[in-house]
Structure 1
Amino acid sequence: MNIGPPTFDIDDVRRANECACAFDHLTKQVAIEAVNAGWLEGEVALALADAAERYVMHIAAGTHAVPVAANCNTARAGEA
């Protein structure tokens, strides 16, 4: 899977559309592969929607770990 970086700054209104287009393309690719593997298109659509909802809830819960460099060259929250 090849996801390129955004080409617009964080405050550019075009960034959200760029992100949506990238994920629309990726979602279609995943769906086509799943259907070709034998899953029904409706099953795939629901599974993708459910996975997206679970990810949103995971982010909203704030329980995900913040990545830390393996070599500890970056300061963690509260350090420095």
Structure 2
Amino acid sequence: MTSGTNRIMDEFAKLMTDAAGAAQGVRKEIETAFNAQAERWLNTMDVVKREEFEAVREMAIKARDENEALLARVAALEAKLAAKTK
């Protein structure tokens, strides 16, 4: 009788293991579908990715710094020109 009970328990354990594997597969499938749908939704909203935002931000910082340097050079040249015309 003990071998029959052990066999039932083994079969039950196998069934639970298979069910857990199937549930995990379903979970992965749902995650994949959700991520794909979320990406499609974000693409329709014209939302930029973080990497693209950071790249444009760095370009803007560099352009601002160059602009400030050019403004300082123009101011110095204008002062020099004003000193020569006097």
TM over 0.5: no
Specify the structure having the higher radius of gyration (Cα): 2
TM-score, length-scaled by structure 2: 0.33
Query: Between Structure 1 and Structure 2, which shows a larger proportion of helix residues?
Result: 2
Pick 1 or 2: higher relative contact order, CA cutoff 8 A, min separation 6: 1
